[in-house]
Structure 1
Amino acid sequence: MNNEEKIKVIEKGTLEVISSDELESKLEKDQPVAYTGYEPSGKIHLGHAITIAKLKSLQDIGFKIKILLADYHAYLNGKGSVDEIAETAEYNKKCFQALGLNDTTEFIYGSTFQTKEDYTKNVYKLATLTTLSRAKRSMDQVSRHSDNPKVANVIYPLMQVADMVALDVDIALGGMEQRKIQMLARENIDKISNNIPVCVHTPLLHGLDGDEKMSSSKGNFIAVDDTEKEIKTKINKAHCPMGEVEGNPIIEIAKYFIFSNQAELTIKRPEKFGGDLTLTEDELINLYSKEELHPMDLKSGVADYLIEYLKPVREFMEGE
């Protein structure tokens, strides 16, 4: 596969690549590094699975994958005691392995390097370069809108920039909620390193309740290790307004998990309701937007697919 073809793989299914013209030089390396960080703070769900799928595609074209299990970040964000976070991190790691990343994937705990001298010096240097206003803009949404944010919430984005330097990152992958931090990195990394990462942003998945983001803390998610019954129950209860496509979590699941892997979806229906339907993505969107496909039929087809799609994850976790 030549570099042009690899760039198409990198860009596929993303919302933004900053910047595509920098990818060529990254691909000239023997084994470029792609990284993303996950704060161990709950169940691994479909929102995480979008980024894992992207990491798998990067792995397939020769990237070294580094996943930061950001235990110190989780502690700064008030996600539990050190022992609780460590236990969650191990569960998260198993989920990521179950989603298909191969044995070359490097899982790195933040606590293994984030107190070392060079790392600490970089955080201090970034603190002298970053205004308080800029740091606040990079904070996560909850902290940013808090009436009384903690100092830890401001340190968090500086550490995330220092992480990219410590892990020698060529591509920094994350959902669009990571954009402000990744732009902070691109603004300042050249002051402490000569390897500025290309930033790749994947879509955010709406929560099953219609909230703008699927989140384990809000309970509006499908976990990758949910049982068949849990998947069906959650899908059946999900927000899926008749005829509405934008912001519809069931439509998004179809787009990002079904039609990214296959050309058609078969929806099983009794003959009295018109019989089975086999639809492309365009056909499904067209029918649904015209209110010619009932939400429960859509939900049924998506649930059936997800049950099979996540079956290897359930089997992996049960075998551990």
Structure 2
Amino acid sequence: MSLEQLIAGTAKVLSEKELEEKLKLGRPLRIKLGVDPTAPDIHLGHTVAIEKLRQFQKLGHTAVLIIGDFTATVGDPTGRSTARPPITREEVLANAETYTTQAFKILDPEKTEVVYNGEWFNKMTYVEVLKLNARVTMQQMLQREDFKTRLAEGKEVRLHEIQYPIMQGWDSVMVRSDVEIGGTDQLFNILVGRDFQKEEGMPQQVVMLMPLLEGLDGVKKMSKSSGNYVGVSEPATEMVNKLMSISDELMDKYYLMLLGESRDENAHPRDAKLELARRIAARYHDDASAEEAVKLWIERAAGNQESGATEVPLSEFSGEFTVLSLASTAFEVGFNLKKSNGELKKQAIAPGAIQLNGEKLTDPNATVSVAEGDVLRLSKKHTVKFV
């Protein structure tokens, strides 16, 4: 059962058989997650790997959180089209303090080892660095997609960037990790760690890759630069407001990746989304703040919907409708407007303009029924309230 829990929500595990064998060793495993605190705040995208780390903790294993006070000054080149701007160690240490505070809102501090990789890298001599470099070929490094792409485009690859996978791999040796967790873009770096462990005569770590979390737009990876993020230090009201804007499809991913479970299929999508937003807000704040934020969102949504709504008799809408037939009837009863099915699908339903009590209705063939007091938004200028 524990194996199924740990694999759920992952993008790839190399390999499941190795992980199963390690779980049978009868001792707490050492689960490594390396983070480079290049910024003081983290968002929900960062927490995906931390949530998985917490699952291991709940099963009695040890989380090893590596703070890259040394590697952060080099900068991870993964996914970069240019070299990262340099950051001082003082900035890294200041960021690490707030980063770990936020991470411990998820992790159990008593089951977490926090180590700084500057503890070993700052002590290495130049000869030791050269010997470590000699273990990896240039051909291996140039297999990385980001390096290959930059070279093909005539963009520079700085020599210090090539050191990054080597350093991340050596971290695995120094902390004797049994499992390393990372994003799908970290596969190359984690495999270097496996190679180093084998050369050192150590059992090789299992590679556990987590999918990259899409942002609020459901398209791009969550990031501050894209403006599609939810910061874990944001107020509870801001968290709830942002999370209520996501699509139903994205909601299912957030449930699995951020809470480690599936949503209640019997619940109305809006109620399920509210529960997701409430639980995430409560995790980073408290239950009272989360409940108040949800209450404010409901009140605001109801106020926005009812403002300027045209009242229509509920008797005209008895029984079940499809979203398409409900919208068509509401336009005709409320505003004496006849809309073709094609027009409704293209201009109202597909873009999410049709909303029942704040919940977008994007499937024209889905069945829906309405009750007294419900508010149906048909467009920016057309809203009806059933009385």
Q: Would you say same fold, with TM above 0.5?
A: yes
Q: Distance in 2 between matches of 1:120 and 1:206?
A: 43
Measured after TM superposition, the shift of residue 307 of structure 1 is 3.9
The answer on 1:9 being equivalent to 2:10 is no
In the alignment, structure 1 segments of 5+ residues that lack a partner are 266-276, 285-296
The answer on 1:184 being equivalent to 2:185 is no
More helix by share: 1
Q: Distance in 2 between matches of 1:25 and 1:116?
A: 35
TM-score normalized by structure 2? Answer: 0.62
For residues 26 and 251 of structure 1, do their structure 2 counterparts lie closer, same or farther at Cα, with a shift above 3 Å needed?
A: closer
**Structure 1 counterpart of 2:343:** none
Equivalent pairs, count: 274
Q: In the TM superposition, what whole-angstrom CA distance separates every residue of 1:180-238 from its partner, at most 9, and x where no partner exists?
A: 21223334431234221011111211123445422244443111221133224534666
Q: Distance in 2 between matches of 1:109 and 1:218?
A: 30
Q: 2:239 touches 2:281 (CA, 8 Å); kept in 1?
A: no
What letter corresponds to residue 205 of structure 1 in structure 2?
L
Q: Distance in 1 between matches of 2:219 and 2:126?
A: 37
**Structure 2 counterpart of 1:272:** none
Measured after TM superposition, the shift of residue 44 of structure 1 is 1.3
For residues 142 and 231 of structure 1, do their structure 2 counterparts lie closer, same or farther at Cα, with a shift above 3 Å needed?
A: farther
The answer on 1:40 being equivalent to 2:48 is no
* Structure with more relative contact order (C-alpha pairs < 8 Å, separation 6 or more): 1
Runs of 4+, deviation exceeding 6 Å: none
- After alignment, is 172-181 or 8-17 more displaced? 8-17
Q: 1:173 touches 1:201 (CA, 8 Å); kept in 2?
A: yes
Q: Distance in 2 between matches of 1:115 and 1:226?
A: 35
The percentage of aligned residue pairs carrying the same residue is 23
Q: Distance in 2 between matches of 1:314 and 1:79?
A: 33
Q: Which has the larger radius of gyration?
A: 2
- After alignment, is 179-188 or 141-150 more displaced? 141-150
Q: 2:255 touches 2:261 (CA, 8 Å); kept in 1?
A: no
Measured after TM superposition, the shift of residue 75 of structure 1 is 0.9
**Structure 1 counterpart of 2:121:** 114
Q: In the TM superposition, what whole-angstrom CA distance separates every residue of 1:125-182 from its partner, at most 9, and x where no partner exists?
A: 442132223224448x499638122222110110000000001000011111111212
What letter corresponds to residue 278 of structure 1 in structure 2?
A
The answer on 1:86 being equivalent to 2:93 is yes
**Structure 2 counterpart of 1:253:** 254
What letter corresponds to residue 60 of structure 1 in structure 2?
K
Q: 2:183 touches 2:211 (CA, 8 Å); kept in 1?
A: yes
Q: Distance in 2 between matches of 1:73 and 1:117?
A: 14
TM-score normalized by structure 1? Answer: 0.74
In the alignment, structure 2 segments of 5+ residues that lack a partner are 76-84, 290-387
Q: Secondary structure at the match of 1:145?
A: helix
For residues 6 and 305 of structure 1, do their structure 2 counterparts lie closer, same or farther at Cα, with a shift above 3 Å needed?
A: closer
